[in-house]
DNA sequence: CGGTTTTGACCCGCGC
DNA sequence: GCGCGGGTCAAAACCG
């Protein structure tokens, strides 16, 4: 599947055993939210509360509890919403880039998506007792940023927001592939994933 | 020793 | 104009 305006155009989600998730532990895409509108919301789309105005597309996966269930994927695209929310044409100047926010159920705060991130800030935000962490892609010339924050309502969920588009390959792309072939099993987790993710990057044109 | 993390300060936009 | 909240900077500490 290809999401429009996905900051990682080659970043695909598949429920196929040929793929492996870089996300450790008890991991579950409870919701995947694409956002192109910054107005009104604080950068996040809460699936329960927010109207679909700012959700471009969403994906819900279930079957996480035991980590061995089948992944059920639903995908809905609201292209009309996406079109009308195409901002940034103000002066034709700065477009901060695409933003993707998704909420995952995970024990760990920072999920390894294959890129190298450097932490550059931490803030406590309103209506959330947990801190929000700010990361930049540590690759030279890459300005992609990432915000990671525990859900204030349910600390079992982690809200991750990507901003920008990577202009380079995933540094650990080969590493992940190697993990697949080398029967990575030390934690008794990876082999049980119902949702496996593949990251495939093609060189920028 | 170089890269990363920590953390307080600073900056900026927005609402009142 | 002021205060608040969110985002970023940068120096020091930390770590492999």
Rounded Cα distance between A132 and A150, Å, is: 7
Strand C contact with A126 (CB < 7 A) = yes
Q: Who has greater pLDDT, A65 or A154?
A: A154
Per the listing, tokens 């105005």 go with A53
Angle A72-A34-A1 from CA coordinates, rounded to 5°: 50
**pLDDT tens digits, residue range A145-188?**
889 888 777 778 888 888 888 877 776 554 444 444 444 444 43
The nucleotide minimizing the C1' distance to residue A44's CA is: C6
CB A117 within 8 A of CB A138: yes
- Residues above pLDDT 90, as percent of chain A: 4
Q: Name the token pair of A6.
A: 């996905």
From start to end of A55-191, where are the E strands? 55-62, 72-77, 99-105, 117-124, 131-137, 145-150, 157-163
The nucleotide minimizing the C1' distance to residue A117's CA is: B4
**pLDDT tens digits, residue range A9-50?**
444 443 333 333 444 445 566 555 554 443 334 434 444 433
Following CA atoms A76, A33, A193, A116 in sequence, which dihedral angle do they give, to the nearest 10 degrees? 140
- pLDDT at position A135 is 92
The nucleotide minimizing the C1' distance to residue A123's CA is: C6
Distance A33 CA to B1 C1' (A): 42
Strand B positions within 7 A of protein Cβ atoms:
3-9
Q: Who has greater pLDDT, A123 or A192?
A: A123
A99 pLDDT above the threshold of 50:
yes
User: From the CA atom positions of chain A, what is the Rg in Å?
Assistant: 17
Among all protein residues, pick the one whose CA is nearest to the C1' atom of C9. Answer: A120
Rounded Cα distance between A30 and A103, Å, is: 6
């Amino acid at each position: 599947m290809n999401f429009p305006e996905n900051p990682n155009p080659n970043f695909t989600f598949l429920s196929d055993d040929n793929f492996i998730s870089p996300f450790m532990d008890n991991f579950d895409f409870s919701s995947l939210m694409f956002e192109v509108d910054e107005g009104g919301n604080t950068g996040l789309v809460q699936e329960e509360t927010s109207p679909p105005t700012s959700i471009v597309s969403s994906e819900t996966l279930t079957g996480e509890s035991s980590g061995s269930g089948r992944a059920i994927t639903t995908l809905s695209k609201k292209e009309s919403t996406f079109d009308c929310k195409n901002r940034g044409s103000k002066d034709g100047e700065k477009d901060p880039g695409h933003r993707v926010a998704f909420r995952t159920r995970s024990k760990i705060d920072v999920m390894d998506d294959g890129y190298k991130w450097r932490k550059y800030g931490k803030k406590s935000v309103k209506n959330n007792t947990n801190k929000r962490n700010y990361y930049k892609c540590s690759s030279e010339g890459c300005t992609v940023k990432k915000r990671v924050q525990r859900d204030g309502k349910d600390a079992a969920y982690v809200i991750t927001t990507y901003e920008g588009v990577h202009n380079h390959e995933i540094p650990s792309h080969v590493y992940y592939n190697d993990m697949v072939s080398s029967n990575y099993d030390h934690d008794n987790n990876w082999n049980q994933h119902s949702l496996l993710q593949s990251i495939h990057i093609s060189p920028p044109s």
